[in-house]
Amino acid sequence: MSHIMSTVTLLTVEAGRNVLFLFSGGLCRYRCCRDQGIACFHVSLLGYFARVHGINQLTKAFLQKTECHCQVINLGAGMDTTFWILKDQDLLPSKYFEVDFPMIVTRKLQSIKFKPLLSKPILELHSEDTFQIDGHMLDSKRYAIIGADLRDLSELEEKLKKCNMNTQLPTLLITECVLVYMTPEQSANLIKWAANSFGTAMFINYEQVNMDDRFGQIMIEHLRRRQCDLAGVETCKSLESQKERLLSNGWETASAMNMMELYSKLPRTEVSRIEALELLDEMELLEQLMKHYCLCWATRGGSELGLEEITY
């Protein structure tokens, strides 16, 4: 149980609401790692800390460049709590969208409906007496969550437009460990749709990289034993292949770094605090794992806003 609470400690640095969504997620992560030993679990937590920090930094940079006159679309959002964090920090975009499979959205909606700490911020921002909600969708003035299959782009676009997606606004799209579960053709179609749908946009993707080496193959074999197939793993060969996928599907600039490089750029005081909390003594394992995940970002248009200047 102490390890689960450690997950909560790491992930609630900026918002206590994360506990309402992520406690069960921490339990799942614990179950996945316990058969590999506690060292793996601690390394996994540190990797997640770096992931959250990296995506948050890029997201905030986009919001600052656009002065929050923009929209954010989180594709495959799961139980993410970024909307609530941004509201607390007075950094909300014009509208924040989340998309995931209907089953996931139903679970999240149940939490939102019955936990005032989650529902109240949405209601506070909604000027109408009621907002639209059903089993697979909620639409309010500043926040929408939609149940849809990202492989069905016509359905995705239709549902986003129904919730007042504005293609004229600068738009940030985020995917975290999503594209790798699609075939290369399916993920390319999604990336291309994202590039072509908005005149000014930024795309952030977090997923595996360097999967051709021995450590990468061990990761793949481990996931396969758990009946988890990475259908798009061939696109995760290198940082260059990750950037090329973005550039060849409509994006004008693309950058990428592995998570070990990102980890080395984190504030040292914060890293020391987290490493002490996690009693890290497996630096070699941490480096191996971090070098097999990456953060990529791409831009299209927005030169007048300086989007191409955004970096980590």
* C-alpha Rg value of the chain to the nearest Å: 19
Q: Where are the beta strands (DSSP E) in 48-200?
A: 71-75, 95-100, 132-134, 137-139, 143-147, 171-176
- Supply 208's token pair: 């595996």
Distance CA 198, CA 173 (A): 10
- Find out whether 244 is annotated in a ligand binding site: no
Sign of CA dihedral 54, 57, 61, 62: positive
Give me the pLDDT at residue 286, please: 85
Question: Is 287 part of any known ligand binding site?
Answer: no
Cα separation values, 64 from 86, 90, 225, 305, 312, Å: 12, 11, 43, 10, 14
Q: What's the gap between Cα 192 and its chain centre?
A: 18
Which pair of tokens denotes residue 147?
A: 């149940």
Residue 80's pLDDT is 95
- Angle, CA of 235, 50 and 100, to the nearest 5°: 60
Residue 213 annotated as lining a ligand binding site:
no
Using DSSP bridges, classify how beta strands 132-134 and 137-139 pair: parallel, antiparallel or unpaired: antiparallel
Q: Determine the Cα angle at 224 with ends 48 and 148, to 5°.
A: 65
* 149 labelled binding-site residue: yes
Where the chain has pLDDT below 50, the residues are 1-17, 19, 22-38
Residue 207 annotated as part of some ligand binding site: no
The CATH 3.40.50.150 portion of the chain extends over: 48-70+172-312
Q: Do the Cβ atoms of 99 and 150 come closer than 8 Å?
A: yes
What pTM does this model have? 0.88
Task: Assign domain 48-70+172-312 to a CATH class.
Answer: alpha beta
User: Does an H or E element contain 197, and which?
Assistant: helix 184-197
- How far is residue 128's CA from residue 123's CA, in Å, rounded to a whole number? 9
Task: Please report where in the chains the tokens 């630096």 appear, as a residue.
Answer: 283
Q: How much is the pLDDT for 41?
A: 63
Give the pairing of strands 143-147 and 137-139: antiparallel
Cα–Cα separations (whole angstroms), residue 173 to 36, 266, 269: 34, 23, 30
Supply the pLDDT for residue 134: 81
